[in-house]
Amino acid sequence: MKGRTLCMISAVLMGTFVTGDASMLTSGVSRVKLDNGLVLIHKKTGPLPIISVNIFLMTGSTSDPQEKLGLMNLVQTLLTKGTRTRSSEQIAVEIESIGGSLGAGCSEDYSSVGLTITKKHLAKGMELLADVFFNPAFPEEELTKEKYMTDISIKTRHDRIFNVAFDLMMENLYGSHPYKNLVQGSTMTLQNITREDVVNRHRQTFGLPNILITVSGNIGLSETKKLLKKYFSDIQNVSPPQPFYPAPEIKNTNPVQKKKFEQAYLMTGFRVPSVNSPDYIKLKLLNAWLGGGMSSLLFQELREKAGLGYEVHSFYPTRKEESHFVIYIGLDETSIPVAKEKISALLEDLKNKTIDAEKLREIKNYLRGTYLLDHQTSGRQGWYLGWWEVLGKGYGYDDEYLSEIEKLTEKDLQDAARKYFDGERVVVEVIP
């Protein structure tokens, strides 16, 4: 409790401290297109001699064929499991011997490969990064192992009550839209994925114009361009598969699922706009107000005052396509009816009353502070620049995000609440 309180205080202080700086995060950033067409976003930071390189692919799990869900995630997982000249163990030993880290990941809207290394060993790190990026061997035995481990992970997801409720929520919110699917796929679809599928997906996506690179740390632009020319000059052109996003239909529904847990879970979800909506930042602020920590409205009203639950939060993830706004509470089954009423009443208050000006300032500071605290390392700074770029906002949104928070008024939040909390909703119950 004490640690969480201190974290919130730090966030507020950080947000207050930097309010006047409108271009702090993108100061010194360059976006250039290299001779081969590769887009580079570069940011020099200092003084520590640490370099972070992030390769972003515009392809995520939403491009997986319906019968082979989990394909792109397997491609990413297998990148470091062996190349044409190195085994999985050799890759791990080599990167550890120079004190670096090398990894890959996949999300719904994009995938990434990242390297963090000291400047002294940058050339060796770049050589390893290029090897896993261009020359993965995708060994059959590693594919079999990763499919097995992923399947175990999927099967044990429902050991946690949150995941049971969340999966049921996504199914009812999204229908046939790919956002309803797990990035990892399912037990059934994993069985359909072959080594040939993995090789083909790599060939289709790891090239131009489907990638961009961010480099951040204590290194100049000229030196960075020379390194990329040496290790990433020979990049093929690709035609990546495009995801299909059917228009989802949402209806008021209240699915209930029984599971062998001691407690119950209640989730209330709405379909809301993507990151590219003018209302994106309004919803981010609404989320911070409703569920952003122990001083949030939900925590204070449902847990502290009413004593209804042990875990109370909300979330609004950033998505390229239509996203979701979800409120959840872990509670006793007998408290579900009262919790439903109180959540509905809180949402009605958001629509009918404007937030106090002092509270609005506090929430803005909280949102700014948590965002800036996540930019403390050069690696995270570079990651954010690439992330905003692949989402379609452009790297400059790293600063615009903060300035848009400052512009919001009490009425903006009320208008957003009226617009998005007044339509169909999905209310999920998981009961013992």
What confidence tens digit (pLDDT) does each residue in 91-130 have? 999 999 999 999 999 999 999 999 999 999 999 999 999 9
Both 193 and 260 in one domain: the answer is: no
**Residue 361 forms part of a structural domain:** yes
Both tokens of residue 366?
Answer: 């909280």
pLDDT at 22: 54
Q: Are residues 278 and 406 in the same domain?
A: yes
The single residue listed with the structure tokens 């792109």 is: 72
Distance of CA 12 to the CA centre of its chain: 23
202 and 280 in a single domain? The answer is: no
Residues 180 and 270 in one domain: no
Q: What is the pTM of this model?
A: 0.92
Residue 110 lies in a domain: yes
196 and 62 both lie in a single domain = yes
Total count of domains within the chain: 2
d(CA 209, CA 199): 19
Whether residue 14 is contained in a domain is answered as no
Residue 243, in any domain of the structure: no
**Residue 147 to residues 80, 144, 178, 234, Cα–Cα distance (Å):** 15, 5, 20, 31
Q: Is residue 290 part of a domain?
A: yes
The CATH number of the domain holding residue 265 is: 3.30.830.10
- Is pLDDT of 340 > 60? yes
Does pLDDT of 7 surpass 50? no
Q: Are 52 and 43 in contact (CB under 8 A)?
A: no
Q: Mean per-residue pLDDT for 184-211?
A: 98
> Which amino acid, residue 392?
G
Which structural domain range is residue 54 located in?
25-231
Say whether both 119 and 227 belong to one domain. Answer: yes
CB 319 within 8 A of CB 275: yes
The answer to whether residue 242 is domain-embedded is: no
Same domain, 154 and 264: no
> Does residue 178 sit in the same domain as residue 96?
yes
Does residue 53 surpass a pLDDT of 50? yes
Which 3-state string (H, E, C) describes 105-116? Answer: EECCCCEEEEEE
The 3-state DSSP class for residue 315 equals: strand
Residue 273 shares a structural domain with residue 344: yes
pLDDT(246) > 90: no
Which pLDDT score, from 0 to 100, does residue 307 have? 94
In terms of domains, do 120 and 223 share one? yes
The answer to the question of residue 81 being in a domain is yes
* pLDDT tens-digit series, residues 216-242: 999 999 999 999 999 999 999 999 999
Q: What is the pLDDT of residue 293?
A: 84
pLDDT digits (tens, 9 = 90+) for 283-296: 999 999 999 888 89
pLDDT of 419 reads: 97
Reply yes or no on whether the pLDDT at 20 is more than 80. Answer: no
Residue 236 inside a domain? The answer is: no
pLDDT in tens, 154-168: 999 999 999 999 999
Query: DSSP states of 374-400 as a string?
Result: TT-SHHHHHHHHHHHHHTTS-TTHHHH
Helix boundaries (H) for 2-56: 2-17
Q: What is the mean pLDDT of the chain?
A: 94
Q: What proportion of the chain, given as a percentage, has pLDDT over 70? A: 94
Same domain, 51 and 156: yes
What is the percent of the chain where pLDDT is above 90? Answer: 91
Contact 54, 117 (CB under 8 A): no
Do 77 and 182 share a domain, yes or no?
Answer: yes
Q: Which of 3-12, 18-27, 80-89, 348-357 has the lowest mean pLDDT?
A: 3-12
In whole angstroms, what is the distance from residue 87 CA to residue 81 CA?
7
Pair of tokens at residue 322: 């239509």
Question: What's the confidence (pLDDT) of residue 423?
Answer: 87
At residue 8 the predicted structure's pLDDT band, cuts being 50, 70 and 90, is very low
Domain boundary among 197, 231, 265: 231
Region 52-78 average pLDDT: 98
